[in-house]
Structure 1
Amino acid sequence: MLQRDYLMKLIETLSTVIARVLLKKEVKNYEGAEEELVSAAKTLAGLDLNLIKILNAEDIISLMKTSDIFTGRCLISAELLRQYGDLLSDKGKAQDSINLYMKSLWLYLEAILTKELPVPGDYYERVDFMIKNLSPLEFPDQLKLKIFEYYEYSGKYSKAEDILFELVESEFNNIHNTGKQFYRNLSLKTDDELVKGNFSREEIEDGLEEINNLLSSD
Protein backbone atom coordinates (compact mmCIF):
# COMPACT_ATOMS: atom_id res chain seq x y z
CA MET A 1 0.00 0.00 0.00
CA LEU A 2 2.82 2.40 0.87
CA GLN A 3 4.54 1.60 -2.44
CA ARG A 4 1.31 2.28 -4.34
CA ASP A 5 0.74 5.59 -2.51
CA TYR A 6 4.32 6.60 -3.22
CA LEU A 7 3.99 5.82 -6.92
CA MET A 8 0.70 7.72 -7.17
CA LYS A 9 2.29 10.78 -5.57
CA LEU A 10 5.31 10.46 -7.87
CA ILE A 11 3.08 10.28 -10.95
CA GLU A 12 1.11 13.32 -9.79
CA THR A 13 4.29 15.34 -9.24
CA LEU A 14 5.66 14.23 -12.61
CA SER A 15 2.47 15.43 -14.33
CA THR A 16 3.00 18.88 -12.84
CA VAL A 17 6.60 18.96 -14.08
CA ILE A 18 5.58 17.89 -17.59
CA ALA A 19 2.93 20.61 -17.69
CA ARG A 20 5.65 23.20 -16.95
CA VAL A 21 7.91 21.70 -19.62
CA LEU A 22 5.15 21.85 -22.23
CA LEU A 23 4.36 25.47 -21.38
CA LYS A 24 8.00 26.47 -21.84
CA LYS A 25 8.24 24.56 -25.12
CA GLU A 26 5.11 26.36 -26.32
CA VAL A 27 6.89 29.71 -26.08
CA LYS A 28 10.09 28.13 -27.48
CA ASN A 29 11.92 28.47 -24.16
CA TYR A 30 13.86 25.27 -24.87
CA GLU A 31 16.60 26.04 -22.37
CA GLY A 32 14.05 26.49 -19.59
CA ALA A 33 12.29 23.26 -20.60
CA GLU A 34 15.58 21.36 -20.47
CA GLU A 35 16.36 22.79 -17.03
CA GLU A 36 12.97 21.52 -15.79
CA LEU A 37 13.74 18.02 -17.06
CA VAL A 38 17.23 17.92 -15.55
CA SER A 39 15.94 19.19 -12.21
CA ALA A 40 13.04 16.71 -12.17
CA ALA A 41 15.35 13.77 -12.85
CA LYS A 42 17.46 14.77 -9.87
CA THR A 43 14.68 15.55 -7.40
CA LEU A 44 12.17 12.84 -8.34
CA ALA A 45 14.46 9.93 -9.15
CA GLY A 46 17.87 10.95 -7.83
CA LEU A 47 19.35 10.60 -11.30
CA ASP A 48 21.62 12.71 -13.47
CA LEU A 49 19.77 13.16 -16.76
CA ASN A 50 23.01 13.93 -18.57
CA LEU A 51 24.42 10.58 -17.40
CA ILE A 52 21.24 8.77 -18.44
CA LYS A 53 21.58 10.27 -21.92
CA ILE A 54 25.04 8.70 -22.27
CA LEU A 55 24.37 5.24 -20.80
CA ASN A 56 22.59 2.52 -22.74
CA ALA A 57 19.21 1.32 -21.47
CA GLU A 58 20.50 -1.88 -19.87
CA ASP A 59 23.14 0.06 -17.91
CA ILE A 60 20.50 2.55 -16.74
CA ILE A 61 18.31 -0.31 -15.52
CA SER A 62 21.23 -1.95 -13.69
CA LEU A 63 22.00 1.38 -12.04
CA MET A 64 18.42 1.81 -10.84
CA LYS A 65 18.01 -1.75 -9.58
CA THR A 66 20.09 -0.82 -6.54
CA SER A 67 17.10 1.21 -5.31
CA ASP A 68 13.96 0.07 -3.50
CA ILE A 69 11.97 2.51 -5.66
CA PHE A 70 12.99 0.82 -8.92
CA THR A 71 9.57 1.00 -10.58
CA GLY A 72 9.19 4.69 -9.83
CA ARG A 73 12.66 5.54 -11.09
CA CYS A 74 12.05 3.60 -14.31
CA LEU A 75 8.77 5.41 -14.90
CA ILE A 76 10.22 8.85 -14.14
CA SER A 77 13.25 8.23 -16.37
CA ALA A 78 11.09 6.88 -19.20
CA GLU A 79 8.82 9.91 -19.20
CA LEU A 80 11.64 12.45 -18.85
CA LEU A 81 13.63 10.84 -21.66
CA ARG A 82 10.54 10.85 -23.87
CA GLN A 83 9.96 14.53 -23.15
CA TYR A 84 13.63 15.28 -23.75
CA GLY A 85 13.40 13.40 -27.05
CA ASP A 86 10.43 15.58 -28.02
CA LEU A 87 12.44 18.65 -27.06
CA LEU A 88 15.38 17.64 -29.27
CA SER A 89 12.99 16.84 -32.11
CA ASP A 90 11.47 20.33 -31.80
CA LYS A 91 15.00 21.72 -32.05
CA GLY A 92 15.64 19.78 -35.26
CA LYS A 93 17.84 17.07 -33.72
CA ALA A 94 15.81 14.09 -34.91
CA GLN A 95 18.60 11.50 -34.75
CA ASP A 96 19.45 12.37 -31.14
CA SER A 97 15.78 12.18 -30.22
CA ILE A 98 15.45 8.63 -31.62
CA ASN A 99 18.18 7.40 -29.29
CA LEU A 100 16.30 8.84 -26.31
CA TYR A 101 12.96 7.41 -27.46
CA MET A 102 14.50 3.94 -27.65
CA LYS A 103 15.78 4.20 -24.07
CA SER A 104 12.45 5.63 -22.96
CA LEU A 105 10.56 2.70 -24.48
CA TRP A 106 12.82 0.20 -22.73
CA LEU A 107 12.29 1.91 -19.37
CA TYR A 108 8.51 2.10 -19.82
CA LEU A 109 8.47 -1.64 -20.52
CA GLU A 110 10.64 -2.32 -17.48
CA ALA A 111 8.31 -0.27 -15.26
CA ILE A 112 5.18 -2.01 -16.57
CA LEU A 113 6.70 -5.47 -16.24
CA THR A 114 7.47 -5.00 -12.55
CA LYS A 115 3.66 -5.27 -12.18
CA GLU A 116 3.81 -2.60 -9.48
CA LEU A 117 2.30 0.36 -11.36
CA PRO A 118 -1.07 1.39 -9.86
CA VAL A 119 -2.76 1.56 -13.28
CA PRO A 120 -0.43 0.00 -15.88
CA GLY A 121 -3.07 0.35 -18.60
CA ASP A 122 -2.58 4.12 -18.49
CA TYR A 123 0.73 3.58 -20.31
CA TYR A 124 -0.27 0.97 -22.90
CA GLU A 125 -1.36 3.44 -25.57
CA ARG A 126 1.86 5.42 -25.15
CA VAL A 127 4.04 2.31 -25.33
CA ASP A 128 2.15 0.93 -28.35
CA PHE A 129 2.61 4.27 -30.12
CA MET A 130 6.35 4.25 -29.41
CA ILE A 131 6.77 0.66 -30.60
CA LYS A 132 4.94 1.49 -33.83
CA ASN A 133 6.98 4.64 -34.48
CA LEU A 134 10.31 2.99 -33.68
CA SER A 135 9.58 -0.32 -35.42
CA PRO A 136 11.27 0.69 -38.72
CA LEU A 137 14.50 0.52 -36.70
CA GLU A 138 15.99 -2.83 -35.74
CA PHE A 139 15.20 -3.55 -32.10
CA PRO A 140 17.92 -5.50 -30.25
CA ASP A 141 16.81 -8.98 -29.18
CA GLN A 142 16.82 -8.10 -25.48
CA LEU A 143 14.38 -5.27 -26.18
CA LYS A 144 12.29 -7.57 -28.38
CA LEU A 145 12.02 -9.94 -25.42
CA LYS A 146 10.69 -7.09 -23.28
CA ILE A 147 8.19 -6.20 -26.00
CA PHE A 148 7.10 -9.86 -26.17
CA GLU A 149 6.63 -9.94 -22.37
CA TYR A 150 4.72 -6.66 -22.50
CA TYR A 151 2.39 -7.91 -25.23
CA GLU A 152 1.65 -11.06 -23.26
CA TYR A 153 1.10 -9.12 -20.03
CA SER A 154 -1.21 -6.60 -21.71
CA GLY A 155 -3.25 -9.29 -23.47
CA LYS A 156 -2.01 -8.69 -27.03
CA TYR A 157 -1.36 -12.37 -27.66
CA SER A 158 -1.19 -12.31 -31.45
CA LYS A 159 1.42 -9.55 -31.38
CA ALA A 160 3.33 -11.42 -28.67
CA GLU A 161 3.49 -14.49 -30.91
CA ASP A 162 4.83 -12.42 -33.82
CA ILE A 163 7.70 -11.18 -31.65
CA LEU A 164 8.25 -14.68 -30.23
CA PHE A 165 8.92 -16.11 -33.68
CA GLU A 166 11.21 -13.22 -34.58
CA LEU A 167 13.26 -14.24 -31.54
CA VAL A 168 13.06 -17.92 -32.55
CA GLU A 169 14.37 -16.97 -35.99
CA SER A 170 17.32 -15.12 -34.47
CA GLU A 171 17.97 -18.10 -32.14
CA PHE A 172 17.68 -15.96 -29.03
CA ASN A 173 18.88 -17.66 -25.86
CA ASN A 174 16.40 -20.20 -24.40
CA ILE A 175 13.55 -18.74 -26.46
CA HIS A 176 12.05 -22.17 -27.25
CA ASN A 177 11.35 -22.79 -23.57
CA THR A 178 9.98 -19.26 -23.27
CA GLY A 179 7.69 -20.04 -26.20
CA LYS A 180 6.43 -23.28 -24.68
CA GLN A 181 5.61 -21.46 -21.44
CA PHE A 182 3.82 -18.75 -23.42
CA TYR A 183 1.48 -21.30 -25.01
CA ARG A 184 0.93 -23.02 -21.66
CA ASN A 185 -0.06 -19.67 -20.18
CA LEU A 186 -2.48 -19.04 -23.04
CA SER A 187 -4.07 -22.46 -22.60
CA LEU A 188 -5.24 -21.27 -19.16
CA LYS A 189 -6.99 -18.19 -20.56
CA THR A 190 -10.73 -18.06 -21.18
CA ASP A 191 -12.04 -18.02 -24.74
CA ASP A 192 -13.08 -14.39 -24.26
CA GLU A 193 -9.56 -13.43 -23.17
CA LEU A 194 -8.08 -15.18 -26.20
CA VAL A 195 -10.50 -13.46 -28.58
CA LYS A 196 -9.62 -10.06 -27.09
CA GLY A 197 -5.96 -10.87 -27.72
CA ASN A 198 -6.77 -11.85 -31.33
CA PHE A 199 -5.96 -15.50 -30.60
CA SER A 200 -7.63 -18.93 -30.55
CA ARG A 201 -7.29 -22.41 -29.05
CA GLU A 202 -6.28 -23.74 -32.46
CA GLU A 203 -3.44 -21.22 -32.68
CA ILE A 204 -2.19 -22.33 -29.26
CA GLU A 205 -1.99 -25.94 -30.48
CA ASP A 206 -0.37 -24.92 -33.77
CA GLY A 207 2.17 -22.67 -32.08
CA LEU A 208 3.13 -25.25 -29.48
CA GLU A 209 3.51 -27.89 -32.18
CA GLU A 210 5.78 -25.59 -34.19
CA ILE A 211 7.94 -24.86 -31.14
CA ASN A 212 8.22 -28.58 -30.33
CA ASN A 213 9.13 -29.38 -33.94
CA LEU A 214 11.86 -26.77 -33.88
CA LEU A 215 13.22 -28.21 -30.63
CA SER A 216 13.29 -31.76 -32.01
CA SER A 217 15.08 -30.62 -35.16
CA ASP A 218 17.91 -28.94 -33.23
Structure 2
Amino acid sequence: MTNTATTLLALDLLGIVAFALSGNLLAARKNIDITGGLVLGALAGLGGGMLRDVLLGTRPLSLSEPVYLIPPLVTTVIVYFVGQRLERVRWFIVTFDAAGLGLFCMTGTVRALDLGMNVPAAIVLGLMTACGGGLLRDVVANEVPALFNGSDLYLLPATAGAVLTAMAVRLHAWNLWTALAIAAFVFAFRMVAWNLQWRVPQPMRGWSYRGIDAKLRGTRGVFRRPKR
Protein backbone atom coordinates (compact mmCIF):
# COMPACT_ATOMS: atom_id res chain seq x y z
CA MET A 1 0.00 0.00 0.00
CA THR A 2 1.43 3.38 -1.02
CA ASN A 3 1.81 6.31 1.35
CA THR A 4 -1.09 8.12 -0.33
CA ALA A 5 -3.35 5.09 0.02
CA THR A 6 -2.38 4.68 3.67
CA THR A 7 -3.05 8.36 4.35
CA LEU A 8 -6.43 8.17 2.64
CA LEU A 9 -7.38 5.06 4.60
CA ALA A 10 -6.43 6.65 7.91
CA LEU A 11 -8.30 9.88 7.14
CA ASP A 12 -11.32 7.94 5.88
CA LEU A 13 -11.49 5.91 9.09
CA LEU A 14 -11.19 9.05 11.21
CA GLY A 15 -14.02 10.61 9.23
CA ILE A 16 -16.19 7.53 9.69
CA VAL A 17 -15.54 7.59 13.44
CA ALA A 18 -16.50 11.27 13.65
CA PHE A 19 -19.69 10.94 11.61
CA ALA A 20 -20.67 7.66 13.28
CA LEU A 21 -20.34 9.33 16.68
CA SER A 22 -22.60 12.14 15.52
CA GLY A 23 -25.19 9.60 14.35
CA ASN A 24 -25.08 7.59 17.56
CA LEU A 25 -25.28 10.70 19.73
CA LEU A 26 -28.24 11.94 17.72
CA ALA A 27 -29.92 8.58 18.35
CA ALA A 28 -29.19 8.89 22.06
CA ARG A 29 -30.59 12.42 22.12
CA LYS A 30 -33.82 11.16 20.55
CA ASN A 31 -34.01 8.12 22.87
CA ILE A 32 -33.56 5.69 19.98
CA ASP A 33 -32.39 2.21 20.98
CA ILE A 34 -28.94 0.80 20.30
CA THR A 35 -29.88 -0.82 16.98
CA GLY A 36 -31.27 2.48 15.76
CA GLY A 37 -28.06 4.15 16.90
CA LEU A 38 -26.05 1.67 14.86
CA VAL A 39 -28.18 2.44 11.79
CA LEU A 40 -27.80 6.21 12.19
CA GLY A 41 -24.06 5.86 12.83
CA ALA A 42 -23.60 3.66 9.76
CA LEU A 43 -25.65 6.00 7.57
CA ALA A 44 -23.67 9.02 8.69
CA GLY A 45 -20.28 7.36 8.48
CA LEU A 46 -20.67 5.27 5.33
CA GLY A 47 -23.55 6.79 3.37
CA GLY A 48 -21.68 9.61 1.65
CA GLY A 49 -18.81 7.39 0.54
CA MET A 50 -21.18 4.76 -0.81
CA LEU A 51 -23.07 7.35 -2.87
CA ARG A 52 -19.77 8.65 -4.26
CA ASP A 53 -18.50 5.20 -5.20
CA VAL A 54 -21.77 4.22 -6.88
CA LEU A 55 -21.61 7.34 -9.05
CA LEU A 56 -17.98 6.58 -9.84
CA GLY A 57 -18.98 3.09 -10.97
CA THR A 58 -16.78 1.31 -8.43
CA ARG A 59 -17.53 -1.10 -5.61
CA PRO A 60 -18.11 0.90 -2.39
CA LEU A 61 -15.07 0.78 -0.16
CA SER A 62 -17.23 -0.01 2.84
CA LEU A 63 -18.24 -3.26 1.13
CA SER A 64 -14.83 -4.23 -0.24
CA GLU A 65 -12.81 -3.29 2.86
CA PRO A 66 -14.28 -4.83 6.06
CA VAL A 67 -12.28 -2.41 8.23
CA TYR A 68 -14.72 0.33 7.21
CA LEU A 69 -17.50 -1.47 9.10
CA ILE A 70 -15.65 -1.42 12.43
CA PRO A 71 -16.02 2.29 13.40
CA PRO A 72 -19.86 2.30 13.39
CA LEU A 73 -19.89 -0.80 15.60
CA VAL A 74 -17.31 0.55 18.03
CA THR A 75 -18.88 4.00 18.29
CA THR A 76 -22.29 2.44 18.93
CA VAL A 77 -20.92 0.57 21.94
CA ILE A 78 -19.06 3.64 23.22
CA VAL A 79 -22.09 5.93 23.01
CA TYR A 80 -24.31 3.26 24.59
CA PHE A 81 -22.18 3.27 27.75
CA VAL A 82 -21.05 6.90 27.99
CA GLY A 83 -23.62 8.85 25.98
CA GLN A 84 -25.99 9.31 28.92
CA ARG A 85 -23.21 11.00 30.90
CA LEU A 86 -22.74 13.78 28.36
CA GLU A 87 -24.52 16.97 29.31
CA ARG A 88 -23.96 18.97 26.12
CA VAL A 89 -25.01 16.32 23.60
CA ARG A 90 -25.96 18.85 20.92
CA TRP A 91 -22.50 20.44 21.03
CA PHE A 92 -20.81 17.05 20.65
CA ILE A 93 -23.07 16.12 17.73
CA VAL A 94 -22.21 19.32 15.85
CA THR A 95 -18.52 19.03 16.72
CA PHE A 96 -18.14 15.46 15.48
CA ASP A 97 -20.22 16.29 12.42
CA ALA A 98 -17.90 19.21 11.63
CA ALA A 99 -14.85 16.96 12.03
CA GLY A 100 -16.31 14.42 9.62
CA LEU A 101 -17.23 17.19 7.20
CA GLY A 102 -13.62 18.42 7.10
CA LEU A 103 -12.19 14.96 6.53
CA PHE A 104 -14.69 13.64 3.99
CA CYS A 105 -14.79 16.68 1.70
CA MET A 106 -11.07 16.08 1.28
CA THR A 107 -10.88 12.29 0.96
CA GLY A 108 -13.86 12.24 -1.42
CA THR A 109 -12.20 14.78 -3.70
CA VAL A 110 -8.88 12.93 -3.71
CA ARG A 111 -10.48 9.58 -4.51
CA ALA A 112 -12.45 11.09 -7.38
CA LEU A 113 -9.30 12.67 -8.83
CA ASP A 114 -7.42 9.38 -8.45
CA LEU A 115 -10.10 7.69 -10.57
CA GLY A 116 -9.63 10.19 -13.38
CA MET A 117 -12.44 12.65 -12.73
CA ASN A 118 -11.97 16.26 -13.76
CA VAL A 119 -11.62 18.92 -11.07
CA PRO A 120 -15.24 20.23 -11.03
CA ALA A 121 -16.64 16.70 -10.91
CA ALA A 122 -14.18 15.73 -8.17
CA ILE A 123 -15.25 18.72 -6.08
CA VAL A 124 -18.92 17.76 -6.47
CA LEU A 125 -18.17 14.19 -5.44
CA GLY A 126 -16.14 15.48 -2.50
CA LEU A 127 -19.17 17.48 -1.37
CA MET A 128 -21.40 14.43 -1.79
CA THR A 129 -19.02 12.39 0.36
CA ALA A 130 -19.00 15.08 3.04
CA CYS A 131 -22.72 15.90 3.09
CA GLY A 132 -24.41 12.71 1.88
CA GLY A 133 -24.08 10.65 5.05
CA GLY A 134 -25.19 13.47 7.31
CA LEU A 135 -28.16 14.13 5.06
CA LEU A 136 -29.25 10.47 5.24
CA ARG A 137 -28.77 10.47 9.02
CA ASP A 138 -30.90 13.56 9.55
CA VAL A 139 -33.70 12.48 7.21
CA VAL A 140 -34.01 9.05 8.86
CA ALA A 141 -33.94 10.65 12.32
CA ASN A 142 -36.67 13.13 11.30
CA GLU A 143 -34.28 16.04 11.82
CA VAL A 144 -34.00 19.18 9.69
CA PRO A 145 -30.77 18.41 7.76
CA ALA A 146 -27.84 20.64 8.66
CA LEU A 147 -27.32 21.07 4.91
CA PHE A 148 -30.65 22.91 4.62
CA ASN A 149 -30.50 24.85 7.86
CA GLY A 150 -30.21 28.52 6.95
CA SER A 151 -29.13 29.58 10.44
CA ASP A 152 -25.49 28.71 9.78
CA LEU A 153 -23.09 27.53 7.09
CA TYR A 154 -22.54 23.88 6.15
CA LEU A 155 -22.03 23.48 2.42
CA LEU A 156 -19.67 26.45 2.10
CA PRO A 157 -16.98 25.09 4.48
CA ALA A 158 -17.12 21.74 2.68
CA THR A 159 -16.85 23.47 -0.70
CA ALA A 160 -13.82 25.43 0.47
CA GLY A 161 -12.19 22.22 1.66
CA ALA A 162 -12.89 20.38 -1.59
CA VAL A 163 -11.52 23.26 -3.68
CA LEU A 164 -8.38 23.53 -1.55
CA THR A 165 -7.88 19.77 -1.82
CA ALA A 166 -8.21 19.79 -5.60
CA MET A 167 -5.69 22.64 -5.81
CA ALA A 168 -3.24 20.79 -3.54
CA VAL A 169 -3.49 17.61 -5.60
CA ARG A 170 -3.01 19.42 -8.90
CA LEU A 171 0.00 21.28 -7.46
CA HIS A 172 1.44 17.98 -6.13
CA ALA A 173 1.31 19.45 -2.62
CA TRP A 174 -1.21 17.05 -1.08
CA ASN A 175 0.20 14.99 1.77
CA LEU A 176 -0.69 14.12 5.36
CA TRP A 177 0.18 17.58 6.68
CA THR A 178 -1.66 19.57 4.05
CA ALA A 179 -4.59 17.17 4.47
CA LEU A 180 -4.71 17.80 8.22
CA ALA A 181 -4.42 21.56 7.64
CA ILE A 182 -7.36 21.54 5.20
CA ALA A 183 -9.47 19.41 7.54
CA ALA A 184 -8.68 21.73 10.45
CA PHE A 185 -9.63 24.77 8.36
CA VAL A 186 -13.00 23.28 7.36
CA PHE A 187 -13.68 22.22 10.95
CA ALA A 188 -12.89 25.69 12.29
CA PHE A 189 -14.93 27.36 9.53
CA ARG A 190 -17.96 25.22 10.30
CA MET A 191 -17.76 25.63 14.09
CA VAL A 192 -17.25 29.39 13.97
CA ALA A 193 -20.18 29.70 11.56
CA TRP A 194 -22.35 27.61 13.88
CA ASN A 195 -21.40 29.56 16.99
CA LEU A 196 -21.77 32.99 15.40
CA GLN A 197 -24.85 32.00 13.36
CA TRP A 198 -23.42 33.15 10.03
CA ARG A 199 -26.13 32.98 7.40
CA VAL A 200 -26.36 32.67 3.66
CA PRO A 201 -28.70 35.13 1.86
CA GLN A 202 -32.37 34.39 2.39
CA PRO A 203 -34.91 34.04 -0.49
CA MET A 204 -35.91 37.36 -2.06
CA ARG A 205 -39.41 38.86 -2.24
CA GLY A 206 -40.89 36.64 0.46
CA TRP A 207 -40.56 33.42 -1.54
CA SER A 208 -40.09 31.48 1.71
CA TYR A 209 -43.79 31.71 2.76
CA ARG A 210 -43.53 33.89 5.82
CA GLY A 211 -46.35 32.22 7.71
CA ILE A 212 -44.75 28.79 7.46
CA ASP A 213 -41.32 30.27 8.16
CA ALA A 214 -42.60 31.89 11.35
CA LYS A 215 -43.85 28.52 12.59
CA LEU A 216 -40.58 26.81 11.72
CA ARG A 217 -38.64 29.32 13.78
CA GLY A 218 -40.26 27.85 16.83
CA THR A 219 -38.79 24.41 16.16
CA ARG A 220 -35.39 23.54 17.54
CA GLY A 221 -33.44 21.08 15.46
CA VAL A 222 -30.19 19.75 16.79
CA PHE A 223 -28.19 21.81 14.28
CA ARG A 224 -30.05 25.07 14.95
CA ARG A 225 -27.96 27.33 17.16
CA PRO A 226 -30.05 28.45 20.17
CA LYS A 227 -30.66 32.17 20.47
CA ARG A 228 -28.68 33.97 23.10
Q: TM-score, normalised by structure 2?
A: 0.33
Q: Which has the larger radius of gyration?
A: 1
Between 1 and 2, higher relative CO (CA 8 Å, sep ≥ 6) is seen in 2
